[in-house]
Structure 1
Amino acid sequence: MFRSLACASALFLAVPAFAAETVSVDTYRGAVDVPANPEKIAVFDIAAVDTLSALGVDVSGAPQNLYVDYLQSVADKAEDLGTLFEPDIEAVHALQPDLIIVGGRSSDQVDTMAELAPAIDMTIWEDVVGQGLARLGTYGKIFGREDKAAELRADFDAQLKSARAAVADKGTALIILTNGPKISAYGKAGRFGWVHSTLDLPEAAAEISDSTHGESISFEFIQTVNPDWLIVIDRLAAIGQPGEDAKTTLDNTLMHETKAWKNDQVVYLNASDIYISGGGIQSMMRTLSDIEAGFNGN
């Protein structure tokens, strides 16, 4: 593999450099000059694939598995470039991309990719909504799709307004992630905390840690906290793995005693949307739509 990478790097560096128009954009690692309107792109970040697809930008190459069903048509047309964690370097070199985008799970690949073509890290992490919307604007700038980006931003704002209205004055919520029989809770400062902060949705348990993987909890904890609403993310469903699903895990005596269960106020989100492609413009709108529907009893 290292020999292949060395050969690929040598071939790339041997290509004569031609002057090309560039634009300065903000990335997760600071401002970077990138080619303007690149024709061929390799993308190793599913949130980026999500937003680029919404903008109408063709993704030339991507990981073989994007996990989310609404991006399957993108995966079908793109060249197979391996996985997020193990990119196929030879396939990337053969593609000869004008720009490579990494982020999140693939962010540590940026230096390797930069030896093949201009590469940027577009990770979305600390501020999912803020960074997600910033990435939308950045991609619009890179690909000359500013008008489409503005249209999508307006659509997002409208969906956010509707979701806020749906959750207003309806009590507290607890966000949990199931992983087979195991359960973790996420608070306002955690990975999915943007749901609380963006929607002004009160937390049922304010003391939850901000750990990346959430805080491991028991059914007794949920019973004690007794949220008005329970928002559920099924990790196994998100990654397509077999095992006990969230509905089976939560169907027990202790859960039956909670206000959320008694009042049929358990909202099961599309797990792939929020867990896999979180921060993508489509993902965020789909999640907000799920929450709106759930709180409206649909």
Structure 2
Amino acid sequence: MGAHSHSHSHDNIDWDAHLQRLRAADDFIEPDLVEVVGRLLLPDDRSVIEIGAGAGGTAAIFAKSLAGNGGDPQLTIVDTAEQLLAAAGERASDAAEGITVRTVRADAAADTLAAEIHQAGAPAQADLVYAAFVVHHLPDQLAGLRRLAELVTPGGRLAVVEFGLQTRVLPADVGIGAPGLEARLLGASEQWFQRMRAEMDGAVRLPVGWPKAMEEAGLTGATSFSYLVDRAAPLDESGRAAALRQLQMLRRDADELLDPGDVTALDQLLDPEGEHYAGNRDDLHYLSANTVHIGTKP
């Protein structure tokens, strides 16, 4: 799961390539997402609002599950990026019949979020509101949780997915550079994230854990569960692609955060023409843990 997959305020994106990457990531973790949706969606649920479209992989699973619940199921997908909304809406609509799928262009950081969803003709509240890897991008995360809680029907739930344990794909010694490369890459990634938060306009710290924050946002009975994305070596083609996407993400800003020797080693691992290309290794694995935090609207 990409660490920064739902921040879409930037321009000049190669959307075809971006969507291709997001779709591949969705397909790779689909079995895990099916399990998560199965734990979150209750038999009586008739409506879901998903904040952050991605490429629509999770939305498609919600669509299938909601359609199975019967009634008049409603799925609303919210994002700021038109291209992602279109792709996600199409994928969710194709996934199941008998469900109304709406896409709404709106920003989870804006106080007008609920009004914009309502103005788009979508239900203003849902039985389940789901936001994966979205809230950590909001300047004021507690205010963001309160905003999302407004979208939940009384008795419904807000589910927020955030990072549990950092993704690991490499053996401890890759044979180039100093051993322990991945640990140093992950340390640099954490530095990048904290700097991103510190430099964000209007950033407000959230010095409590997510369940506590959800209770401060007016939700009750906050609970959490984690799910593993666990693929052992040797990886198949989709697994190798996922491991390479992870390494490519860790390459961002590596020049200023890492020792030059580690940057050189990482570049060698990412060079398809080189002898040390990670895509040719049979000892890559993929292990990640994400945590789902759930709060109930009184």
| TM-score past 0.5 threshold | no
1 or 2, which has the higher strand percentage? 2
- Tell which structure's C-alpha radius of gyration is larger: 1
**Taking structure 1 as the reference length, what is the TM-score of the superposition?**
0.28
